[in-house]
Amino acid sequence: MPDMPPPDPSTSSSHAARPGPRSLSHPLSNDAFARHAETLLAVIYPERKDEVLRRLETLMELHRSRLAPRVPEGEPLWSERDQWLITYGDSVQQEGEAPLATLNDFLASRLGDCLSGVHVLPFFPWSSDDGFSVIHYREVNPALGDWQDIQRLSEQRDLMADLVINHCSRESLWFADYLAGVQPGRDYFIEMDPETDVSSVVRPRPSALLTPVHTRRGLRHLWATFSDDQIDLNFANPDVLLEFIGILLYYLEQGARMIRLDAVAFLWKRLGTSCVHLPETHAVVRLLRAIVDHLAPGSLLITETNVPHAENMSYFGLDRLSEQDLTSLEGSAQADEAHMIYQFTLPPLTLHTLTSGDASALTEWAASLPSLPAGCSYFNFTASHDGIGVRALEGLLPDHERDTLVRLVHDFGGYVSMRANPGRADTPYELNISYFDALKGTRRGRDPWQIERFIASQTLMLSLQGIPGLYLHSLTATPNHQEGVERDGHLRAINRRKWQRDELEALLSSPNTATHEVFHALKRRMTLRREEPCFHPDAHQQVFDLGPDFFVFERVTHEGRRLLFALNVTDQPRVLPLPESWQGLALTDHLCHDKAFDPAMARRPYQAAWLMEQSVRPPAIEVV
């Protein structure tokens, strides 16, 4: 799909005008919602759509008075000030204090208003997978705190909460009901004959798809996509969907603004298919979007789908919009699926770029991204609680380049998780390593540029079109946590260290540590970014191919204010070849304290620039 044409460059010296209001909050009327929901339920439950719609409307009435718009009607959903932190509730701990309270105080004292939001990873009672095997969906893990701690966090900044929707813990009350053969959990799970052919099912793990379970009715085999402690839920039973709609609305009532739909791609099962991205799954996401837009406009849904890039993009619902809609400058087209998707391609492709010293693949991919309709944006990240997924590279990099990343990760102290491929050998699924240590060197080995290379990776992520999410352990330059792998017995623990606050504060206060250098460099960038209109998520992005040594793109507001991002992706000094539309202009580098930019001077290894015309005044702010 063609990019949206940029504004007239002749207006680039205009004052600091804000982007046009493309992403607006427009709640549906009651009648419009009912018609839309009926259409979607006809896809999900064609034989029971009328019954399910009546039950849904009753459920929504119970919550209506307890929900309110998160953004006033007609106001933008987001701005350049949107910057998120990703963290576990106990990633920073202090003796004698609830970890959620410690986290809240740490964010307030160290990051202030740099952050607009925080994603607290599953904070519910759980039995495995560090929270993603939920026992009680409506409770806070008492080891972390309580709902008042969650609400205090949400009073300071926006809160993202996980709706772990595909599966639950085998220690849950629903599963106890299933084992006993009583309601409501009796029909919440998917029984399958162990002889059933499930070879066409897409797998994210090497484990068996069906897990044996002893019940009062004898031995049964249940569908378990991820592990034998994470039992998939049966969404063919509308009771399950209505249960989760109630949970979603409860999270919004407790202060969450964004709901993350965990592993949602695997939601619907139909034998003989891949059981991923099925039409019913997309219809469920669209229904949840409609409910959120109707009852709590300004709240956001984000889908977590670690799959190849084109499949991930499908959760915007772009296939239902015409090319004319997508390229409309007025932003009149309104997608009706996820508000945001995780940009899963960015972490492995950035790692490939900075360790190979070649921006070609990154440039080609970024240039191919479509313009998005109103109400959609990317959630950009490089690291999270999981590993670095490599499925998103399928079709973008040849297998031998992916295998080079695998060898690199092993060389730098990390691991690789595999996934099953029926009929052929297992293949890499994700790279388990801290993102800081993944950038220890290049394909030639370790070198002295780790900190510069890592800061470059985060600056790139902060600059791209979309909303950035920084993992806590990226902000703190946390190295591989081998002790966690040995203690917990799973590979993802390598990137899930729990900091004692006094230890972390000492590192942040010492100028001779990587933690200090990285944290303060990124905090400065976040402070600058949140005041620059060119970083509004809806500001246009145009990528330039200026050779393999540089990754270059411009961001342009609807009023014509321009900023050029340029990054030397190599470990050698390189002269930046400016795009034709930027040549001959007097430029300053906003990242270098607005010093004049000399186009003849070589850029340092891994040096990034935010270039603007000297006649354009950057926002006047004090950077601490």
Q: Is 546 helix (H, G, I), strand (E, B) or coil?
A: coil
Q: What is the Cα–Cα distance from 388 to 384, expressed in whole angstroms?
A: 8
Residue in the structure block whose two tokens are 């309580």: 146
First to last CA, the chain: 42
By the 10 Å C-beta count (0-12 exposed, 13-18 middle, 19+ buried), 332 is classed as exposed
Other residues' Cβ atoms within 10 Å of the Cβ of residue 413: 15
By the 10 Å C-beta count (0-12 exposed, 13-18 middle, 19+ buried), 100 is classed as buried
Q: What is the Cα–Cα distance from 488 to 493, expressed in whole angstroms?
A: 7
What are the CA-CA distances from residue 243 to residues 72, 125, 187, 248, 290 (Å)? 28, 18, 13, 9, 17
What are the CA-CA distances from residue 517 to residues 23, 187, 208, 568 (Å)? 36, 54, 45, 20
The radius of gyration computed from the CA coordinates of the chain, to the nearest angstrom, equals 24
Q: What is the Cα–Cα distance from 455 to 473, expressed in whole angstroms?
A: 13
Q: What are the backbone angles phi and psi of residue 529, rounded to the nearest 5°? A: -60, -40
The active-site residue, picked from 82, 262, 336, 571, is: 262
| CA dihedral sign of residues 86, 90, 92, 96 | positive
CB 31 within 8 A of CB 296: no
CB 86 within 8 A of CB 470: yes
Residue in the structure block whose two tokens are 């017995």: 489
Nearest 10 degrees: CA dihedral of 384, 555, 366, 360? -110
Q: Which two tokens stand for residue 544?
A: 């330039």
DSSP sequence for 509-532: H-TTSHHHHHHHHHHHHHHHHTT-
Q: What is the Cα–Cα distance from 305 to 318, expressed in whole angstroms?
A: 16
> Which residues are bridge partners to 454 per DSSP?
none
Q: What is the Cα–Cα distance from 410 to 32, expressed in whole angstroms?
A: 54
**Closest by alpha carbon to 219, among 206, 231, 210, 229?**
210
- Give me the amino acid identity at 172: S
Element (H, E) at 377: strand 377-380
Long-range contacts of 266-274 (CB under 8 A, 24+ apart): 266/166, 266/202, 266/204, 266/225, 266/232, 267/165, 267/166, 267/235, 268/235, 268/236, 269/190, 269/201, 269/223, 269/232, 269/236, 271/196, 271/197, 271/198, 272/200, 273/200, 274/200, 274/201, 274/202
To the nearest 5 percent, what fractions of the chain are helix, strand and coil? Answer: 35, 20, 45
Element (H, E) at 441: strand 441-442
Q: Is 564 helix (H, G, I), strand (E, B) or coil?
A: strand
Is residue 549 annotated as a catalytic residue, yes or no?
no
Q: Which residues are catalytic?
A: 262
